[in-house]
A and B are shown apart, each in its own frame.
Chain A
Amino acid sequence: MTKVNRRTFIQATGVAAAAGVAGMPNVVLGASKKVVVVGGGPGGATCARYLKIFDPGIDVTLIEPNQHYHTCFMSNEVLAGKRTIEQIRFGYDGLKKAGINVVHDMVTAIDPEKKVVKTAGGKDFAYDRCVVAPGIDFRYETIEGYDEAATKTVPHAWKAGEQTVTLRKQLEAMKDGGLFVLCAPPNPYRCPPGPYERASLIANYFKKHKPKSKIIILDPKPKFSKQGLFKAAWKKFYGFGSDNAMIEWRGAQEEAGVVSVDVASKTVTTRFGDKIKADVLNVVPAQKAGKIAHVAGLTNDSGWCPVNLHTFESTIHKGIHVIGDASIAKGMPKSGYAANSEAKVCAASVAALLNGKEPPAPAYVNTCYSIAADDWGFSVAAVYKLARDGSKIMKVSGGLTPGDAPAEYYKREVFYAHSWYNNITRDIFGG
């Protein structure tokens, strides 16, 4: 076989294409394969990496404003003083090493007709396919008196980094006997067990350092993720249900969802009309897809992005795929593991489509570990397959840690949660 080097090959196909020669089977290989990924979180970074793994010939650019990414997962351990902020910080060198063009800039517009991504820095990036993974934004308008400026003193800490540090400092500064109030969001939101893990780990910190302190969770929902496991752990470790309970949960039954916040006095008002003054206040508002998804017209009335569940291509704009928290991945929760899983299915589909092939059969997995005390962790896991009619990502197995598991297994799940963290962050960011 004669050796054809890449350049002559491209020239040859170029000539063939220019001459309009049809039926050349290899022509598609010479075609341009440019993907622009918007957002360098678990969704975007994983997708960029796996595009390169599935087809190194794809030209991948990832656009992300920040030099570093702080994972929300394990950020509750930072709040509890079990981990430093540096230990949840990741850079993009691993992606660069994998041959991905990483650009630090903010995407301000996506033109689906011209297939161009525009940035705040004034640059245009042409694409053949675009992957959008901007995560979430908040519906501040749903809570009177709360807005982005207020997050400086009343943090949401639902995007990790500065917000996490702010809340941690407030918890450290709080006097023993103080009250921490956590206002949980309505469904659907990022990380369903997240608020309850947060309450658990902050209780773990209080128990050791400020044992007279209390936590109230105000929840607009009648029930929550892993409720049985959380309540059992709270009972075991934090006196839940007793007169001396460190954690108190108030749900929709008590109309406990927060409707307004007085930032200056850290007082919240619930739907029922109760007023509660906190020493440290954490408000996690209702959520929607990240801003760029709205600007690019990728969202529907729900505020999230409808997609084809096989390719994650937007059902609104062709050639743009949406993954992670911003997408409506019917059947899967909004989690880091889900974003990572969806990103791989999306990358395989995009790689196939760019090579003129049908998207391959998908497979999905999700797991969320929660740590409730020093040696007490549990999980929810699921394996999924896509319904043939594309209507839903169907769970084929999974479930919760059994309530009657031996204590030794709850302890092991803490080790496994930390292992999961080490492994998934390498899977997302490389390195």
Chain B
Amino acid sequence: MPGRRKHTLLLAGLALALATVSAEADSHGGKKKPELISGASAEMLAAQCDGCHGPNGASGGPAIPNIGGHDAEFLMEQMKGFASGEIPSTIMGRIAKGYTDDEIKRLAAHYAKQKWVPAKQKFDAGLAKMGAPLAEKYCEKCHEDGGRKADEGIPVLAGQWLPYLHFTMADFISGKREMTKKMKKRVNKLMKSKGEKGLNAVLEFYASQQ
């Protein structure tokens, strides 16, 4: 009974977490604050994110991104980037600052284990069709498997919420969020030859991968 086993593990996780409950002086404030209880399990920490991101990090949209099933390294980089302000955000910066590196590691491992549930969303079939070969040409080198790859720091794009893809691309293109040099080159090439419509078509293609 696989379900049963998972839950037993969960309980074991809770027990483990209690074994590692440890005091930790608050390192965030600078001022002397009361000692805090740390050592929450991955399940406990993640349960608190799921209120916004959806059960097991599978978002019901329309815009908060799926996080369950992303690559662990990518998740860690995002959380650290949000906390430092390097990656712009509306709210994650304020939230990510509240977690230690160790907690971020546990959270990333937890969400990387979850199943990626492609967003059930509307898309423009014509544009998606146009986008398929463009994604293949300009993005597939890194976002392999039609954007399904979740490894080596690469985020899943296939089945991510479309408004979120638009938001992140807008931040990339405006320079608010830095692209890796190589991605920037590809995106620029795409924009140069196919314009904004080309980019939209690529995003519609990823949205169509349900």
Is the A/B pair a real complex? yes
Given known pairs A56-B4, A367-B52, A415-B163, the reply for A396 and B98 (CB within 8 Å) is: yes
| Residue numbers in A under 8 Å from B33 (CB-CB) | 394
| Residue numbers in B under 8 Å from A382 (CB-CB) | 98
Interface assignment of A340: CB less than 8 Å from any CB of chain B: yes
B17 to chain A, nearest CB (A): 5
A20 to chain B, nearest CB (A): 27
Cβ proximity bits B1-27 to A, threshold 8 Å, 1 near / 0 not:
001100100110011011011010010
Interface centre among B14, B43, B50 (most CB of A within 10 A): B14
| Residue numbers in A under 8 Å from B36 (CB-CB) | 385-388, 394, 396
A385–B33 alpha-carbon span in the complex (Å): 12
Given known pairs A352-B18, A360-B44, A361-B38, the reply for A422 and B60 (CB within 8 Å) is: yes
Chain A facing B: main interface SS? mixed
Stretch at the interface among B61-69, B133-141, B149-157, B182-190: B61-69
Stretch at the interface among A85-93, A197-205, A405-413: A405-413
Is B17 a contact of A360 with CB atoms below 8 Å? yes
A232–B23 alpha-carbon span in the complex (Å): 42
A166–B4 alpha-carbon span in the complex (Å): 47
Is A401 a contact of B62 with CB atoms below 8 Å? no
A6 to chain B, nearest CB (A): 11
| Residue numbers in B under 8 Å from A394 (CB-CB) | 26, 33-34, 36
User: Smallest CB-CB separation from A383: which chain B residue?
Assistant: B98
B160 to chain A, nearest CB (A): 13
Interface assignment of B78: CB less than 8 Å from any CB of chain A: no
A interface residues, tally (CB under 8 Å): 58
Cβ proximity bits A338-370 to B, threshold 8 Å, 1 near / 0 not:
001100110010011001011111111101000
A384 to chain B, nearest CB (A): 8
Given known pairs A381-B91, A415-B163, the reply for A397 and B59 (CB within 8 Å) is: no
| Residue numbers in B under 8 Å from A381 (CB-CB) | 91, 94-95
Residues from 375 to 408 in A contacting B, C-beta threshold 8 Å: 379, 381-389, 391-392, 394, 396-399, 401, 405, 408
- A selection of 13 A-B contacts at a CB cut-off of 8 Å is A344-B44, A361-B40, A361-B44, A365-B48, A387-B35, A391-B34, A392-B34, A396-B97, A396-B98, A419-B59, A419-B64, A424-B52, A427-B55
Binding site for B on A (CB under 8 A): 50, 53-56, 310, 337, 340-341, 344-345, 348, 351-352, 355, 357-365, 367, 379, 381-389, 391-392, 394, 396-399, 401, 405, 408-409, 412-413, 415-416, 418-420, 422-424, 426-427
